[in-house]
Amino acid sequence: MWSARETEWVRGAAPSAGRLRLDVHLRPGDLARGLRAEVAQGLGGRPRELSPKWFYDEEGSRLFDAITRLPEYYPTRAERSILAMQAGEIARLSGADTLVELGSGTSEKTRLLLDAFHARRQLVRFVPFDVCAGTLVTAARAVALRYPRLQVHGVVGDFERHLDRLPVAGRRMVAFLGGTIGNLKPSARRAFLTALASNLLPGDSLLLGTDLVKDRRRLLDAYDDAAGVTAAFNRNVLVRINRELGADFRPERFAHVVRFDEEESWIEMRLRAQERQVVRVPRLELLLTFDEAEEMRTEVSTKFHPEQVEAELHTAGFALRRFWTDAPGDFGLSLAVRGRR
């Protein structure tokens, strides 16, 4: 069930805005319940850990947008450069008439793909999929206005829970960009890719963005910029917990920490208590005691070798069709096809 505002958008759009539809698979309160459960489990025990999904409230999304424009943060620019060069080839090789974007956000980079598909006159529908209904509705309206004949079918859901709700229509290409796959640990990554493959048909394809292993200093700098924007982004999760759960974290008492785990091949972001402190979370009846220098992990971001990407896709049921990188080889974009079951 969607809100009155969303219903008005779907029913009241002008004909020139194209055909618009919105499916909502997250009930009111689902995200709040999820945050409560994760804080209770992830911070209530040891080692302490939170999922990076909780970064993205309104302020977190604003800060992340600022991060993507920082000189140290190469992934967004690198992926965009690949799309700018290869979008036409991606459209041709995929043969898709339906573009699905997981974690669509503002769909800004996806415009390069939409333009390429539009130029080939092969795209019938666009399916933006995101956890945030407000952002999705705004982006979908903009896409529909830009491409008047395109069917836009928005889906509000969690890509770790609702892949089986993807519309089954036409020949689909699922885009999962930005290196977001790297936020999933190996077991969760296998489960995600396998679930995605099981919900696609033979001939459907996946366009996957992956950050690649590189000089460690560049990796660390990308997550610990000189201006401190990423540090503010990291601490903002504590601000969110304060606001939504009534906690009394003092974010300034936690240091932003970044390290590269050589064994796991991932960047870790952490928050380190700068002194011993007690934090109350009244809505969970939880009392958290942090020792001095104790840390909570807030993100992992895996960095891949190209052969690793191909192997993981193959295990899930995809055959790699083409692999591209930007000129320096910082970032990879894979087009893989779902094989026959």
What average pLDDT does this structure show over 290-304?
98
Angle (deg, nearest 10), helices 133-146 and 4-12: 10
Question: CA-CA distances (angstroms) from residue 218 to 50, 311, 315?
Answer: 25, 26, 30
Amino acid occupying residue 104: S
How far apart CA 122 and CA 131 sit, in angstroms, is 28
Average pLDDT, the chain: 91
For 107-158, the pLDDT digits (tens) are 678 899 999 999 999 999 999 998 888 888 888 899 999 998 899 999 999 8
Amino acid, res. 314: H
284 near 36, Cβ under 8 Å?
yes
Nearest to 4, CA basis, from 133, 190, 153:
133
d(CA 306, CA 312): 10
Question: Would you state the pLDDT for residue 11?
Answer: 42
Range of weakest confidence among 4-8, 43-47, 125-129, 210-214: 4-8
Residue ranges covered by each domain of the chain:
4-28+73-214+304-338, 45-69+216-302
Distance CA 18, CA 333 (A): 30
pLDDT-derived band at 159 (thresholds 50, 70, 90) equals confident
Q: What is the model's pLDDT at position 3?
A: 41
pLDDT at 248: 97
* Cα torsion 290, 291, 293, 299: sign: negative
Residue type, 116: A
pLDDT score of 5:
39
Is domain 4-28+73-214+304-338 annotated with CATH 3.40.50.620? no
C-alpha to C-alpha distances, 324 to 110, 204, 250, 309, nearest whole angstrom: 17, 19, 44, 12
User: What is the C-alpha to C-alpha distance for residues 94 and 321, in angstroms, rounded to an integer?
Assistant: 9
Measuring CA to CA, which residue among 151, 78, 167 is closest to residue 117?
A: 151
pLDDT, residue 19, reads 74
Q: How far is CA 189 from CA 54, 99, 159, 192, in A?
A: 18, 22, 12, 5
What's the pLDDT tens digit per position in 225-278? 999 999 999 999 999 999 999 999 999 999 999 999 999 999 999 999 999 999
How does strand 286-290 pair with strand 277-281? antiparallel
pLDDT at 341: 57
**Tokens for 96?**
């898709």
Average pLDDT over residues 202-216: 97
Stretch 299-328: mean pLDDT, rounded? Answer: 97
Q: Where are the alpha helices (DSSP H) in the chain?
A: 4-12, 30-38, 58-67, 75-94, 110-119, 133-146, 186-198, 216-222, 229-245, 306-316
Nearest to 177 by CA among 233, 106, 123: 106
Q: What would the pLDDT profile of 19-53 be if each residue is shown by its tens digit? A: 789 999 988 788 899 999 999 999 999 999 999 99
Q: What is the pLDDT of residue 119?
A: 93
Q: DSSP character for 61?
A: H
Which pLDDT score is estimated for 138?
A: 85
What would the two tokens of residue 54 be? Answer: 């909780």
DSSP assignment letter at 28: T
pLDDT of residue 18: 46
Determine contact, residues 78/330, Cβ cutoff 8 Å.
yes
